Structure 1
Amino acid sequence: MSHRRARTTVLALVLLLAPVVTACSSEPEESATDLLDRARTTLDEAATAHFVLDSEGAPSTGTTLVGGEGDIARPASFAGVLEVTALGGTIEVDVVSVDGTVYAQLPFAQSYSVVDPAQFGVGDPGALLDPDTGISQLLAGAQEAALGEERRVDGEVVREVTATIPGDLVEQVLTSQDPAQDVRARMSIATGSGQLREVELTGPFFSADADGTYTVALSDLGADVQISAPPTS
């Protein structure tokens, strides 16, 4: 084959492949709003989830929710442990919620009793997967959403989305000393599965005049979880 013919053949291949390369490289990036919508849909379709709660900036006095871990199951169940500051220290309270009734086994108690979860600084943990009052509404209520950095966590690519969330929405899930103040949010979403992995919330959780932070991590969406009401005294 002559050099001229070879050059002609290469040029023809380049021209044929160029539209394909251009199409691949010009694929639009998923917007922050679209990513939040996909994470919300994925969460609303999950029958169960495991969550871990951490906090920063909590006071050492009074009764304050500072952490916890447990399993949530639809339509309205929870079983786990909440960490609460009380009596000058941190105590762990076993908590079960089924169909709107919350049970807790307080330290030194021999059995569970029905409680108001507000005394621990939290809403009904059994409603965390409720699309209207749980974590999902935080995604729906996010304002001024913007894409953040992309990183890899445990081999999975997650994309951060920053936003502000009205304080009255956050108060339904956790607590607030001033629901009129917006809460800053940073959400980490797995780009492949669309699963919400973490929500970091910063706002007036412990004081109206100073910011505190709660971080909720989600995993094991759809795992087999069975929760039933415990016996009470």
Structure 2
Amino acid sequence: MLPRRTLIGSLLLALVAGCTSSGGGGGDLPAGSELVTKAAAGMKSVTSTHFLIKVDGELPGVPVKDAEGDLNAEGESKGRAKIDQFGQLIEVEYVLVGQDLHFKGPTGGFTKLPAALAGQVYDPTAILDPDKGVARVLAEARDAKTVSSADGVSVVTATVPRDIVAGLVPGIDSDVASTFTVREDKLEKALFELPSGAKVTVELTDFNKPVTVTPPA
């Protein structure tokens, strides 16, 4: 038989462990549906952002492997991208302003093309488009579940219907398992994992900082 002092100590340890377990469990996490709804509303008010896009694997019809730049809600953007051209990665610069896409390859200067051609490669301005960008992706996410939440940052898993996510990430032909990292009412990171094994990551920073885009000289 255990001494009385040892028995009491064991009971106290068990009680403390039980309280700690229940206090840190999933029941205390904010609801995933509430988090993505709040972030969807918050992203609709974003006027500008810095973005980073990475593609791991193959997306049908999408040659972009990664891109980084700045954009505003008026549909203007500037930055750089790496494009797969005949099996080789080529880094390009771009300026999207007004009705024009200014495009510069590894050599030579900028070439001016119709802005509509941006969609044939990847149109980053879709990110802040309320009808097809991150705000709609968040609003239409299904089965949202919070997996962690601390210091104002929450990670939520969900499924996004293919017709919704395709507005943001072209080349997708099925529903997508997604992981969202949100801080307060803003989306900081979205990870889309396709059934084929390909992954697309979108990271957003510098919300609402002034972004001015002018045509290159």
Task: Report the Cα distance in structure 1 between the residues aligned to 2:157 and 2:134, rounded to whole angstroms.
Answer: 16
Secondary structure, in 3 states, of the residue corresponding to 1:172? coil
Aligned ranges 1:107-146 → 2 under 5 Å: 107-114=106-113, 116-120=117-121, 122=122, 124-146=123-145
Task: Report the Cα distance in structure 2 between the residues aligned to 1:168 and 1:102, rounded to whole angstroms.
Answer: 26
Aligned residues: 189
Task: Report the Cα distance in structure 2 between the residues aligned to 1:197 and 1:110, rounded to whole angstroms.
Answer: 34
Structure 2 residue runs without a partner (length 5+): 1-27
| Percent identical | 26
Q: Tell me the TM-score normalised to structure 2 length.
A: 0.77
- 8 Å contact kept, 1:189–1:197: yes
Structure 1 residue runs without a partner (length 5+): 1-27, 205-209
Task: Report the Cα distance in structure 1 between the residues aligned to 2:34 and 2:54, rounded to whole angstroms.
Answer: 27
Tell me the equivalent position of 2:25. none
- Quick one: which amino acid aligns to residue 199 of structure 2? T
Secondary structure, in 3 states, of the residue corresponding to 2:208? coil
Q: 1:127 to 1:226 in 2, by over 3 A?
A: same
Greater than 6 Å deviation, 4+ residue runs: none
Tell me the equivalent position of 1:3. none
Q: 1:164 to 1:72 in 2, by over 3 A?
A: same
Secondary structure, in 3 states, of the residue corresponding to 1:221? coil
- 8 Å contact kept, 1:142–1:163: yes
Secondary structure, in 3 states, of the residue corresponding to 1:174? coil
- 8 Å contact kept, 1:188–1:197: yes
Q: CA RMSD in A?
A: 2.5
Structure with max Cα Rg: 1
**TM-superposition CA deviations, 1:68-118 (whole Å, max 9, x none):** 101110121111112111132211121222346433223324223215124
Q: 2:202 aligns with which of 216, 219, 229?
A: 216
- 8 Å contact kept, 2:30–2:149: no
- 8 Å contact kept, 2:58–2:198: yes
**TM-superposition CA deviations, 1:129-172 (whole Å, max 9, x none):** 11112121111111111111235xxxx54211111111122222
